[in-house]
């Protein structure tokens, strides 16, 4: 389920309020207001590691502000290529839908194999690989080693997810 986001302020307002350096990913304030000093870094870290800031009494994630400043667009989601939520360098950000954004993540916390899409099937006594594509679970097979199962998953992920694939 995609995360609902507030509509962002106008691009021109954002360009008046903030300066963005695409190389470093830093967002700084252009004006002094509400106790915030011109030139200081805008925002602070959330519990999940994203930079967030307030504009007009509402809180927004910095990468969404940056995207709007740079493109004027508001995509459904924005993916951090390197999975570091505080790295807002322009080369690290890309527009995504929810499925693509979720594809670019590592193994889940409850994963016991250490590889995405791989689990041990007790009845078959084998490592099984599967991938979810367009809401459908696709069984990729049973393998003698978890590395073989991971290789099958990686190949399927590259096929189905292209540049958004995150190898296990």
User: Which residue segments constitute the domains of the chain, with CATH numbers given?
Assistant: 11-100 (3.90.75.20), 107-162 (3.30.730.10)
Q: What is the pLDDT of residues 134-165, one digit of tens each?
A: 889 999 999 999 999 999 999 999 898 888 88
- Tokens matching residue 118: 């791989």
Q: At CB < 8 A and 24+ separation, what contacts does 59-62 make? A: 60/5, 60/6, 60/8, 61/5, 62/27, 62/88
Q: What is the pLDDT of residues 17-62, one digit of tens each?
A: 999 999 999 999 998 776 677 778 888 999 999 999 998 889 999 9
């Amino acid at each position: 389920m995609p995360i609902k986001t507030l509509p962002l302020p106008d691009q021109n307002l954002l360009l008046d309020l903030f300066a963005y350096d695409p190389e470093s990913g830093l967002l700084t304030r252009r004006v002094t207001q509400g106790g915030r000093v011109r030139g200081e870094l805008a925002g602070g870290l959330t519990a999940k590691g994203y930079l967030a800031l307030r504009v007009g009494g509402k809180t927004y994630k910095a990468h969404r502000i940056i995207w709007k400043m740079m493109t004027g667009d508001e995509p459904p989601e924005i993916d951090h290529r390197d999975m570091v939520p505080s790295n807002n360098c322009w080369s690290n950000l890309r527009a995504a839908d929810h499925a693509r954004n979720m594809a670019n993540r590592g193994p889940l916390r409850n994963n016991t194999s250490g590889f995405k899409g791989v689990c041990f099937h007790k009845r078959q006594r084998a490592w099984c690989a599967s991938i979810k594509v367009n809401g459908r679970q696709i069984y990729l097979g049973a393998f003698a080693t978890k590395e073989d199962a991971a290789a099958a998953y990686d190949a399927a992920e590259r096929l189905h997810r292209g540049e958004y694939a995150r190898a296990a």
